[in-house]
Amino acid sequence: MLDDRLDPAPADAPSADAPDPTDPRFFVNRELSWVDFDRRVLELAQDPDQRLLARLNFAAIFASNLDEFFMIRVAGQHAKVWNENRRRGPDGRSADEVLDLLRERIDPVVQEHARTVHEDLLPALAEQGILLARHRDLSAEQQAELEDRFRNRIYPVLTPLAVGLGRPFPYISNLSLNLAVLVRDPDTRQTVFARVKLPTEVVDRLEVVRGAQGEQVFVPLEEVVEAHLDALFPGMEVLDRGMFRVTRDADFEISDDADDVKRALEAQLRNRRFGEIVRVEIDAKVSDALRTEIVEQLGVEERQVYDLPGLLDLTALFELVKAPGHNELLDDPWRPVTHPRLREGDDERADVFAAMRRGDVLVHHPYDSFHTSVERFVEQAVEDRDVLAIKMTVYRTNADSTLLPALVRASEQGKQTVALVELKARFDEQANIRWARVLEDTGVHVVYGHPALKTHAKCILVVRREGDKVRHYLHVGTGNYHAKTANLYTDFGLFTRDQELGQDVADLFNQLTGFAKPGRFRKALVAPNGLRDGLLEEVERTVAAHRAGQPTRIRLKMNSLVDRQSIYALYRASQAGVPIEINVRGICCLVPGVPGLSETISVRSVLGRFLEHSRIYAFERGEDRVVLMGSADIMERNLDNRVELVVPVDDEGARDELLDALDRAFCDEEGSWTLGPDAQWTRVRPADPEHPRGLHRELMELHQQRARDADRED
């Protein structure tokens, strides 16, 4: 049933003096929008309504996000400057101007982050028996315990490197923690600069000792090393010391001409830690002389240097989040439930194929169990004698995945088994290379796709013999086939026997594994050869329906909205009067609420307990509802440089579930921000503070109730 928010009034074409949708003023810079996103994550770390360790977890996520942002996005801007690329982006800025603005925006945010951690979160944790302590504040017994660990475990893997005649400044690897030390020979009075890399790859970043009252005391590794510098520089005077950390360009491209994608990728991975420096973090307490030495030796610009108070590399906070015995400081655990349609008999052995024969099944992770849906689907396909083939895309998966071993078993049984492994999934490249080797060695057909395109589509195709015909059983998802992230990310998965979609996905696999030009698909929208056009056609149909007097609405949910053609189309739809609601977790380059341009557009971002990851595109025209879901965000990289799969959801029940999730996302008041016409994000305050709407909480309650109802029916 359409609700009264759909505007039935027809609209005239925009007036001649209406704002131009392509004006750079109405395109938010992608990098600056990302900084706004991480700022929202920081706000959750500062939120007193969140439990303490949940807040600390958000503070750690902020730091981890920022590391990746510098390694990829900021590095890309520096590369443009170094290559003298002066082309301006759709926001009208050059890369050099963007870098200056990033420095201006990021520095106060990271300072605020450090203050939040050291002045708010850590003192609160200390009251709960979780202490982050300086070495000098430890008891004699605790210091003795750490000295023993230093001698036996830490000292043997330390390598002090002095700089001087015949001793060049050492290479500083990406994201490594380093101790800069000035030492002097008391006899010759010669002063030498030295660097000690902290071996966090093989030694814990935080050493744990027990407090007098049983509390857990965490001591940063650098504190332990600094306390024993005499062992590293015997007979020398330590004049000064200070921590610094380097971030390097970690992005790369594989040539379109690469004969062997896997070999080319392995070569690039070896070079990743040698990328150009894009950021240097230095302990704010470092003396001017030592700071100057570090900056000059690294050869960086001042805008690349960040002076930070307290602990460097606050991803170390993840170790505090995992401190045992403090579950009351975390969110209550959530256990996914089995979808009622997949509860035939023993949950672990449900007949997924039978459920699909009765109609499409839509699962919503992490509320619905990944194990009793996606993993069970593949396991059943392996066990079923009538299954002839299993084909699956692999973008990211976990080390203990049950899906890939299942493919191995299927291959051993003689089933046609295909794994389209995307080796270029950023920061998961090594894991995917290892899985590809295992699969190849056991007879699975492994395909790596095209060097210039990432295969980001999420689909599993099962071909089953039924009588004298074969039927396609298909799973299409919005998220990766990764059991661990399926408990943390919100994603939808559609199980369907729709034979047109099945044939579309079969054709897609054949195009990717064989040698064929992209063809026309029956129902699916596939990038890079039709997804953008398909979405823009839906926008134009909605505009036409609105002008014809039908009630209309466009609602979109995604991780990022960047593609300029799509943004211009949404602006034109708004100028025509179409109501548009956008739910975007991260980057949004569109500016809503601008008179004459986007005044019918609203934008909301939801962050919280789970990471919003699903993509839903809904177009409502009178009684006609087109609802699409799939792997693609509305970004140039997804629409032009990736293989993406978005499919229509025709089953009425499944479509209603997607629209209900949209309704709840747009009503969330617990972790939501709205974007204004000034391109500023504002935290949503509950209309009723005693009873706020909460997307994640409501969906957990909904699925729990659905499971209880199914139990009663059993």
Beta bridge partners of 473: 462
Which amino acid is it at 166?
Answer: G
Coil, helix or strand for 99? helix
**Peptide bond preceding 528 in cis form (omega within 30 of 0):** yes
Active site residues: 456
| DSSP secondary structure of 237-274 | EEEEEEEEEEEE-------TT-S-HHHHHHHHHHHHTT
Long-range pairs of 688-691 with CB within 8 A, sequence gap ≥ 24: none
Burial class (CB in 10 A: 0-12, 13-18, 19+), 269: middle
Closest C-alpha among 546, 597, 605 to residue 574: 597
Distance, CA of 653 to chain centre: 29
State how far the alpha carbon of 21 is from the alpha carbons of 93, 185, 567, 576, 597, in Å: 17, 67, 8, 12, 7
| Cβ atoms of residues 254 and 424 within 8 Å | yes
| C-alpha R_g of the chain | 28
Number of Cβ within a 10 Å radius of residue 652: 11
| Cβ atoms of residues 582 and 600 within 8 Å | no
**Peptide bond preceding 595 in cis form (omega within 30 of 0):** no
What CA–CA distance (Å, rounded) separates 615 from 628?
A: 8
Coil, helix or strand for 106? helix
What CA–CA distance (Å, rounded) separates 669 from 185?
A: 63
Which residues lie below 8 Å from residue 93, measured CB to CB, with a gap of 6+?
29, 101
Which amino acid is it at 124?
Answer: A
Beta bridge partners of 466: 469
Distance, CA of 425 to chain centre: 12
What CA–CA distance (Å, rounded) separates 600 from 617?
A: 17
